Amino acid sequence: MSWIGYLVAIIGAIGVLLKTEMIKKLLVGVALPAFTQTTYFLIGSVIVVIIGIVLIFMGGSGSGVGSRRSGGEVPIYAGNQIVGYRRV
């Protein structure tokens, strides 16, 4: 699921790059639509990058407190001794 966040962030980053002068010089022969040169396009691209980053961290797998327990085992205690394990 976090691959969607990466995709959204990359699309937003491309939008931000289209606004820079260096990329404009590289794309001299390419006709870009006029709306890509507006300030609103830059603001929208930055917002898309932020949304992508949020999706990456919300949809991440394997590195959270809740993800350590899912699919694992927890010990069953009888006094101070472990007598078995239970799947969660």
Number of structural domains in the chain: 1
- The pLDDT of residue 24 is 78
- The pLDDT of residue 69 is 47
Whole-Å CA distances, 73 to 76, 77, 88: 10, 13, 6
Q: Which domain holds residue 22?
A: 2-87
Are the C-beta atoms of 49 and 7 separated by less than 8 Å? no
* Distance (Å, whole) CA 50 – CA 82: 46
Of the pLDDT bands very low, low, confident and very high (cuts 50, 70, 90), residue 70 is low
Higher pLDDT: 51 or 29? It is 51
- The pLDDT of residue 61 is 56
pTM: 0.60
Inform me whether the pLDDT recorded for 11 exceeds 90. Answer: yes
* Distance (Å, whole) CA 81 – CA 66: 25
Q: Which value, in Å, is the radius of gyration of the alpha carbons in the chain?
A: 23
**Which residues touch 32 (CB under 8 Å, ≥6 apart)?**
18
Q: How far apart are the first and last CA of the chain?
A: 22
